[in-house]
Every structure is written in structure tokens, then in C-alpha cells.
């Protein structure tokens, strides 16, 4: 079978792969914010708790998280389908990595900006939403997009618990063919075809936001 003839079959897993990646990233991005704020807190206990979480989720292989959620929770009567278990597992991991990305963005905001906000008697919420966040996003966005692309590729691990993504379809095809090399090369090409447009869009969006904020900051 020709290399290109595998593409349509493999492409049938694109929707599942993108849904898994987008949901994991979205849930992780939301949970990462309080973790990042705790990591930068003036309270040592919060810093240690957030730091411990980040080290824990980044230190354990993704496949182990998926096995715990999909197989391990069955012992307690909690049964998750493969897609839900994969989303939760990858979201837990994403939160740890994104929290550190957020923290890098917060730390990139000059101290003078905080001092100016304090001098204007702005509340903590207003300082964060109107001063810190708009500037931090310039640092955060390219790193977050790079992480999203990495997560897209890493989502292939969900195939081990039966999620019907691109990798699972490739494995299924390879079991019925003697041309496994071509099949997995085709699968790699499909991942590449997804990743490149996301990277281009992310680069454009990052430049757009940086220019827009820079213009506002200049005024």
C-alpha cells in the first residue's frame, strides 16, 4: 500500500486527537493559574505545596497517570472511560507544566509595574488583570503554544488505554499489514500536518498581541 493511501484512514483519528489535546490543555490551563499563584505566594506553605505538586506531576511518566486513572480507580468502584481518563491524566500533567510557564510570565513583569500599581492604590485584582496579566501573556503565549504542540504529540500515549486517536489507528493498521514502517511514517506525517498550522497561527497570534500591547504601553 502506498504511503499516501494510509493518510485518509489515519486522518479519521484527528478529531479525537485534537479533542483530547484541547480539553487536556484547557482544563490544565485553568487549574495551573492557582497553582502558579500559590507557587509565587509569600506564604511558604503554599509555595511548598504548589512546588510539590509540580514536581510530582512532572516526575511521574504520563503513562503511569493514565494507568492509575483508568485501571487503578476501578478498585474503588470509579470507572472512567478511556477518553475521560486520558483527558484528566493529561490535564493534571498540563497544569504542572503550565503553572511554571505562568510563573515565568509573572516574573518577567518588571517590579516597577507592581510599584506603580501600588502607588496608584490599585487593588490586587485590578493590578493582576490590568497590569500583570497583559504583560505576562507576551511571555506566556509562545511557551504555552509550544507546550500545546508537545502535548498534541504526547497525547499518543492515550492509545495504551484504548483512546481511538491517530496512534491507535496506526497500531491497528500495522497489525493487519507487513508495512508497519510506512504506516507509522504516515502517522508521523499526519501529526506534522496538524502541528505546523498550529505553530504558524501561534507565532502570528504572539506577534499580534506583542505589537498590540507594545503600542498601548508606548501610549
DSSP string, 106-160: HHHS-HHHHHHHHHTT--HHHIIIIIIHHHHHHHHHHHHHHHHHHHHHHGGGGGG
How many angstroms separate the CA atoms of 115 and 128, rounded? 13
pLDDT for the residue 35: 94
pLDDT digit string (tens) for the chain, length 219 residues: 677 888 999 999 999 999 999 999 999 999 999 999 899 888 899 999 999 999 999 999 999 999 999 999 988 889 999 999 999 999 999 999 999 999 888 887 766 666 666 666 666 667 666 666 677 788 888 889 999 999 999 999 999 999 999 999 999 999 888 888 999 999 999 999 999 999 998 888 878 877 766 545 444
Q: Which helix (H) or strand (E) holds 188?
A: helix 180-218
How many angstroms separate the CA atoms of 38 and 64, rounded? 26
From the options 1.10.3720.10, 3.40.50.970, 3.40.190.10, 3.40.50.2300, give the CATH code of 3-218. 1.10.3720.10
pLDDT for the residue 75: 87
Q: Which helix (H) or strand (E) holds 211?
A: helix 180-218
> Would you kindly state where each structural domain of the chain is located, as residue ranges?
3-218
pLDDT for the residue 106: 80
Task: Indicate the DSSP class of residue 178.
Answer: S
How many angstroms separate the CA atoms of 131 and 114, rounded? 8
How many angstroms separate the CA atoms of 160 and 165, rounded? 10
The structure's pTM equals 0.87
pLDDT for the residue 152: 95
With residues binned 3-state (H G I as helix, E B as strand, rest as coil), the percentages for the chain, rounded to 5, are: 85, 0, 15
E strands within the chain? none
Amino acid at each position: 500500500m502506498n504511503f499516501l493511501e494510509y493518510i485518509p484512514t489515519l486522518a479519521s483519528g484527528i478529531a479525537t486527537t485534537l479533542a483530547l489535546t484541547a480539553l487536556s490543555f484547557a482544563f490544565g490551563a485553568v487549574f495551573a493559574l492557582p497553582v502558579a499563584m500559590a507557587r509565587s505566594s509569600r506564604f511558604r506553605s503554599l509555595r511548598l505545596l504548589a512546588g510539590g505538586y509540580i514536581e510530582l506531576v512532572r516526575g511521574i511518566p504520563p503513562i503511569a497517570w493514565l494507568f492509575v486513572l483508568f485501571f487503578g480507580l476501578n478498585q474503588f468502584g470509579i470507572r472512567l472511560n478511556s477518553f475521560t481518563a486520558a483527558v484528566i491524566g493529561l490535564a493534571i500533567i498540563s497544569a504542572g507544566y503550565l503553572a511554571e510557564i505562568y510563573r515565568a510570565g509573572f516574573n518577567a513583569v518588571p517590579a516597577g509595574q507592581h510599584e506603580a500599581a501600588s502607588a496608584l492604590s490599585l487593588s490586587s485584582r485590578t493590578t493582576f488583570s490590568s497590569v500583570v496579566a497583559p504583560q505576562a501573556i507576551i511571555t506566556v503565549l509562545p511557551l504555552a503554544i509550544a507546550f500545546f504542540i508537545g502535548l498534541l504529540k504526547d497525547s499518543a500515549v492515550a492509545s495504551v488505554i484504548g483512546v481511538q486517536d491517530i496512534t491507535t489507528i496506526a497500531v491497528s493498521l500495522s497489525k493487519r499489514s507487513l508495512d508497519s514502517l510506512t504506516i507509522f511514517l504516515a502517522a508521523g506525517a499526519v501529526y506534522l500536518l496538524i502541528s505546523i498550522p498550529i505553530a504558524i497561527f501561534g507565532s502570528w497570534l504572539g506577534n499580534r498581541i506583542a505589537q498590540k500591547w507594545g503600542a498601548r504601553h508606548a501610549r
